[in-house]
């Protein structure tokens, strides 16, 4: 079973109420969630920094939340300098 967590820059974590049997499904969910969080993140005090997949308390995959999101609203990848 794979668990999904949102992690903040201060190290705080919040568990997302989703559990997955398949790593591919968990990855698709995490990428979409990271994009949504990045698109909706403004100047919060402690915005989310990563969306992570754990299996039995072991980190499997960590995706950075990018301010502005990863995709434009038409679903095309956004080119970001740097």
Per the structure, how many domains does the chain have? Answer: 1
Answer yes or no: is 58 within a domain. Answer: yes
Answer yes or no: is 80 within a domain. Answer: no
Beta bridge partners of 6: 14, 51
Name the region of 68 (left: φ>0; alpha: ψ -120 to 50; beta: rest).
left
Answer yes or no: is 21 within a domain. Answer: yes
Answer yes or no: is 10 within a domain. Answer: yes
Query: Is the four-CA dihedral 8, 13, 18, 22 of positive or negative sign?
Result: positive
pLDDT confidence bin for 42, thresholds 50/70/90: low
Residue 7 contacts residue 46 (beta carbons within 8 Å): no
Mean of all residue pLDDT scores within the chain: 83
* Domain that residue 43 falls in: 2-64
Assigned token pair, 1: 């079973």
Q: What is the pTM of this model?
A: 0.77
């Amino acid at each position: 079973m794979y668990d999904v967590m949102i992690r903040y820059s201060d190290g705080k974590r919040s568990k997302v109420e989703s559990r997955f049997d398949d790593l591919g499904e968990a990855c698709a969910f995490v990428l979409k969630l990271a994009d949504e969080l990045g698109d909706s993140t403004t100047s919060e005090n402690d915005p989310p920094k990563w969306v992570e997949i754990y299996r039995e308390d072991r980190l499997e995959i960590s995706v950075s939340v990018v301010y502005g999101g990863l995709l434009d609203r038409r679903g095309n990848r956004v080119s970001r300098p740097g």
